[in-house]
A and B are shown apart, each in its own frame.
Chain A
């Protein structure tokens, strides 16, 4: 009866597969969708946790800048200092207890093999929670994206994905996290595609878009999300006015350079401060507290400041002070080692720069029809494009944040000019990866072998496994093939789902047949030392979607390699090689 039920289940599964004919790339979409939904929930939970902790610490119902503005001066000093201390202790003892290498999602996608250490990611998120809730001048989007990417990493580990596919699924998590943090699904996908994956091919972009979409749908189910910044009426600028936006682009490119210089300088300065990490982070918190006593606007990611610059009247002198204070506070938080994002603080720098340019042009050319909100918004995009060196993502992110099509032309102009201005400064971008980090994909292509990228735990089956056991594994694992292995892991054959497909109606076969009866012998295989270009030739000749990796001499099965993973790796390695040249 049990076998009969199993066969019915397997038949239903096969029917579904035959109707849909899913390829590995399509499965990647399904996985990305699952990671997207999970990433959004994790992001929302983190956001909820920071708000709750902040309300508890400030003993009020407000959150963000308003919560700090209501605190007495002594508390403005004590709360971020203690927050930095606690966050530092969490990082210090987390590292001591778990001894896991830190790895953020950028590194895992750009340079690593897509593996994010779970414990380290969790205690770093906890440290970020303390820093952000106590007013550190950093964004919560960093940990939100890290947690969403961690969901992808866990999924990749669980499904035993090889490096190329694991990177893709972690990237999908990161895209979902950004989409959830900024209510910007297109920019979420493009941010990861442009900055971390570095390509806009559908093999990688498809799953990222899928993850972003499921993330944003999940966010809309659980919260009342809408455009972050609402612009009033913004008229398309006339040609003469467009020149002003060109100048804004140059100013934003330079300002991005100044901001990143400050970030790097204070980071180096804090590294030179004697004492353990918690003390340095407490010092960073104290610096933010001192600035916050005069300008509570500097606490947090700066969302309220941007919103206010877009929607309310400001005096230009106050904007200058806010800009300098925010850059200093963010550099102090980031430089002291606080875990968090600098994405939203970068937007603050952009909106202040945009506002100041608007003020200047309005004074110089009173006849021009210039708009404060438009300049503040476009400034955000231009500084973001410059600092991240990802203009395409920046343009779309600002569009999604405002849902204003009218700003697109000046936004595109200023963003591209900002991008090139920053490039001419010959500085590293905000998301520049450390060159000495582990880098599988930037190794010369000729040194990469099948062993580097294969899936190391193939789905195996013993020759004596019953027909029912084989069927169960096909259903449970969503597999197309299982590898028949004998003593010492020697590969004996391959059991292919397609060979069993027509015969699943027979309960009699289930009783009389075993895996060894239905395995294909002499299937083509690759040696783990095979260089990747040679492996591609083998795939081309064999017309197989997956090949077993077998040690020459012992015939031991050590892994499997799919055509899709090979192509993803070759594309990535080729791209890195071209970039290196």
Chain B
């Protein structure tokens, strides 16, 4: 699984945030078509916002642009406006999944959301300075740390 972490994401809106995060995944072996990944996730975001409350957004899509699951995590202390209400998301976890495995996609998203619902975890994520710790807090460190790319 490909992972990208940006602890200081600066984006004017959800569209830009998705572009920046997808750009970070561009070199990942799981990504077949980075441009298509951006389009698919933005299209999904346009249908209904993935802002889930408490400053968390989970832009995601099942897409042919990836051949294995990829995750890009962005932290924005200033917040990125999501959805028609322009709710500010400080933690943005972007997920791209192959179309085939719906159940695994839901399972992964469920675990992520479960962690992100905990106030203590969110507080620590906002204060973490190292990508490793960030991923550990999200419990994405196990299989992910090995494939952790250089992050900003």
A residues touching B (Cβ–Cβ < 8 Å)?
463-464, 466, 499-500, 502-503, 505-506, 508-509, 511-514, 516-518, 520-521
Q: A502-B107, A509-B113 are in contact. Are A521 and B47 (CB under 8 A)?
A: no
**Chain A residue contacts of B113, Cβ below 8 A:** 506, 508-509, 512
Q: Are A503 and B47 touching (Cβ within 8 A)?
A: no
**Chain A residue contacts of B53, Cβ below 8 A:** 511
Tell me the bound Cα distance from A509 to B50 in angstroms.
Answer: 10
With both chains docked as a complex, state the minimum distance between the C-beta of B61 and any C-beta of chain A, in angstroms.
8
Q: A502-B107, A506-B110, A509-B113 are in contact. Are A518 and B48 (CB under 8 A)?
A: no
**Chain A residue contacts of B103, Cβ below 8 A:** 499, 502-503
Q: Are A516 and B44 touching (Cβ within 8 A)?
A: yes
Q: Are B99 and A512 touching (Cβ within 8 A)?
A: no
Q: A506-B113, A508-B117 are in contact. Are A514 and B106 (CB under 8 A)?
A: no
Interface residues contributed by chain B, number (CB under 8 Å): 22
Tell me the bound Cα distance from A502 to B103 in angstroms.
Answer: 8
**Chain A residue contacts of B116, Cβ below 8 A:** 508
**Chain B residue contacts of A500, Cβ below 8 A:** 106
Q: Are B106 and A512 touching (Cβ within 8 A)?
A: no
**Chain A residue contacts of B44, Cβ below 8 A:** 516-517
Q: Are A509 and B102 touching (Cβ within 8 A)?
A: no
Q: Are B117 and A503 touching (Cβ within 8 A)?
A: no
For the complex of A and B, list the 8 residue pairs with the smallest distance between their C-beta atoms, beginning with the closest.
A508-B113, A506-B110, A503-B106, A511-B52, A499-B102, A464-B47, A512-B58, A512-B52
Q: What would 9 more interface pairs be, CB under 8 Å, given A503-B110, A508-B110, A512-B50? A: A499-B102, A506-B113, A508-B114, A509-B106, A509-B113, A518-B102, A518-B106, A520-B102, A521-B99
Q: Which of B98-150 contact A (CB under 8 A)?
A: 99, 102-103, 105-107, 109-110, 113-114, 116-117
Number of CB contacts from chain A to chain B under 8 A: 53
**Chain B residue contacts of A518, Cβ below 8 A:** 102, 106
Q: Are B52 and A517 touching (Cβ within 8 A)?
A: no
Tell me the bound Cα distance from A365 to B52 in angstroms.
Answer: 95
With both chains docked as a complex, state the minimum distance between the C-beta of B93 and any C-beta of chain A, in angstroms.
10
With both chains docked as a complex, state the minimum distance between the C-beta of A233 and any C-beta of chain B, in angstroms.
69
Select the residue from A463, A500, A506, A518 with max chain B CB neighbours within 10 A.
A506
**Chain B residue contacts of A502, Cβ below 8 A:** 103, 106-107
Q: A499-B103, A518-B102, A521-B99 are in contact. Are A509 and B47 (CB under 8 A)?
A: no
Tell me the bound Cα distance from A499 to B107 in angstroms.
Answer: 10
Tell me the bound Cα distance from A517 to B60 in angstroms.
Answer: 9
**Chain A residue contacts of B52, Cβ below 8 A:** 508, 511-512
Interchain residue pairs with CB less than 8 A apart (8): A499-B102, A502-B103, A503-B103, A506-B114, A508-B113, A512-B50, A512-B109, A513-B106
Tell me the bound Cα distance from A518 to B103 in angstroms.
Answer: 8
Tell me the bound Cα distance from A506 to B62 in angstroms.
Answer: 19
With both chains docked as a complex, state the minimum distance between the C-beta of B91 and any C-beta of chain A, in angstroms.
13
Tell me the bound Cα distance from A399 to B70 in angstroms.
Answer: 72
Tell me the bound Cα distance from A218 to B44 in angstroms.
Answer: 54
Q: A499-B103, A503-B110, A518-B106 are in contact. Are A512 and B60 (CB under 8 A)?
A: yes
Tell me the bound Cα distance from A463 to B107 in angstroms.
Answer: 20
Partner of B110, one of A466, A509, A516, A520: A509
**Chain B residue contacts of A520, Cβ below 8 A:** 102
Q: Are A517 and B62 touching (Cβ within 8 A)?
A: yes
Q: Are A499 and B110 touching (Cβ within 8 A)?
A: no
Tell me the bound Cα distance from A527 to B90 in angstroms.
Answer: 49
Tell me the bound Cα distance from A503 to B109 in angstroms.
Answer: 10
**Chain B residue contacts of A516, Cβ below 8 A:** 44, 47
Partner of A514, one of B48, B110, B114: B48
Tell me the bound Cα distance from A551 to B48 in angstroms.
Answer: 29
With both chains docked as a complex, state the minimum distance between the C-beta of B108 and any C-beta of chain A, in angstroms.
10
With both chains docked as a complex, state the minimum distance between the C-beta of B25 and any C-beta of chain A, in angstroms.
19
With both chains docked as a complex, state the minimum distance between the C-beta of A491 and any C-beta of chain B, in angstroms.
16
A466 and chain B: residue at smallest CB distance: B48
With both chains docked as a complex, state the minimum distance between the C-beta of B2 and any C-beta of chain A, in angstroms.
20
**Chain B residue contacts of A514, Cβ below 8 A:** 47-48
A522 and chain B: residue at smallest CB distance: B99
With both chains docked as a complex, state the minimum distance between the C-beta of A105 and any C-beta of chain B, in angstroms.
45
Tell me the bound Cα distance from A402 to B27 in angstroms.
Answer: 86
With both chains docked as a complex, state the minimum distance between the C-beta of B104 and any C-beta of chain A, in angstroms.
10
**Chain B residue contacts of A503, Cβ below 8 A:** 103, 106-107, 110
**Chain A residue contacts of B102, Cβ below 8 A:** 499, 518, 520
Tell me the bound Cα distance from A503 to B105 in angstroms.
Answer: 10
**Chain A residue contacts of B48, Cβ below 8 A:** 464, 466, 514
**Chain A residue contacts of B109, Cβ below 8 A:** 508-509, 512-513
With both chains docked as a complex, state the minimum distance between the C-beta of B73 and any C-beta of chain A, in angstroms.
15
With both chains docked as a complex, state the minimum distance between the C-beta of A518 and any C-beta of chain B, in angstroms.
6
**Chain B residue contacts of A464, Cβ below 8 A:** 47-48
Tell me the bound Cα distance from A520 to B105 in angstroms.
Answer: 12
Tell me the bound Cα distance from A509 to B44 in angstroms.
Answer: 15
A514 and chain B: residue at smallest CB distance: B48
